[in-house]
């Protein structure tokens, strides 16, 4: 019997956004720059977590630009697409998120660590039932440059692992179990 509980990515997003242990923050703030006329123009880009829109300040302009939607090849940019190194089209300019505020880095690191913990647990469980190589990496880069890790990619990796594990141990991939996995990043995940 196949266990389904909606789109896992959306369920993961709900669990992460409802995380009481996450750093309290209203906006993710990133910094970048544009080259125009042979001159570098610093840009501050904030993503409002409540309104889900972008606020953009350009160095020499007094206006604050409010952008409701930013598109990228996979659709509309959401909070899970924002990380250091992300490439966005802001006001018609290709923009790479170069750095971020300390609070934003803390928020990103918190969620990356939580997702990596669940991903690693699922990999261990899947390895018990298959000898096929894991197409996802949780070693090497896993704990380097945490604010640069793409949350959406981690959630997609978790979904792939969840689908694999569902074939062998459906009881480990119910929605209730996933909520339990995300509760406490310090304790061991129980499989019983």
Instruction: For 130-147, write each residue's pLDDT tens digit.
Output: 887 766 655 444 446 677
Residue 142: what pLDDT? 47
Interatomic CA distance for residues 142 and 148, integer angstroms:
10
186 falls in which pLDDT band (50, 70, 90)?
very low
Tokens of 89: 């089209």
Assess whether pLDDT exceeds 90 at residue 77.
yes
**Average pLDDT over the chain, rounded to whole?**
79
Task: Quote the pTM value.
Answer: 0.79
108 falls in which pLDDT band (50, 70, 90)?
very high
DSSP state of 19: -
Residue 172: what pLDDT? 79
Residue 188: what pLDDT? 44
Interatomic CA distance for residues 81 and 153, integer angstroms:
9
Instruction: For 8-39, write each residue's pLDDT tens digit.
Output: 444 555 556 556 677 789 999 999 998 888 98
Interatomic CA distance for residues 37 and 13, integer angstroms:
41
Q: Are 189 and 121 in contact (CB under 8 A)?
A: yes
């Amino acid at each position: 019997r196949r266990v389904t509980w909606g789109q896992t990515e959306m369920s993961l997003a709900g669990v992460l956004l409802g995380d009481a242990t996450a750093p309290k923050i209203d906006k993710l703030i990133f910094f970048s720059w544009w080259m125009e006329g042979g001159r570098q123009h610093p840009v501050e880009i904030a993503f409002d977590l409540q309104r889900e829109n972008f606020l953009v300040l350009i160095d020499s302009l007094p206006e604050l630009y409010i952008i409701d939607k930013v598109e990228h090849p996979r659709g509309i940019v959401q909070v899970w697409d924002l990380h250091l190194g992300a490439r966005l089209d802001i006001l018609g300019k290709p923009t790479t998120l170069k750095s971020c505020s300390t609070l934003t880095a803390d928020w990103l690191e918190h969620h990356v660590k939580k997702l990596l913990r669940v991903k690693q647990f699922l990999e261990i469980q899947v390895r018990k039932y298959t000898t096929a190589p894991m197409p996802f990496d949780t070693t090497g880069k896993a704990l380097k440059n945490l604010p640069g890790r793409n949350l959406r990619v981690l959630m997609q990796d978790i979904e792939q692992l969840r689908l694999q594990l569902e074939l062998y141990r459906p009881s480990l991939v119910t929605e209730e179990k996933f909520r339990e996995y995300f509760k406490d990043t310090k304790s061991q995940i129980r499989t019983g």
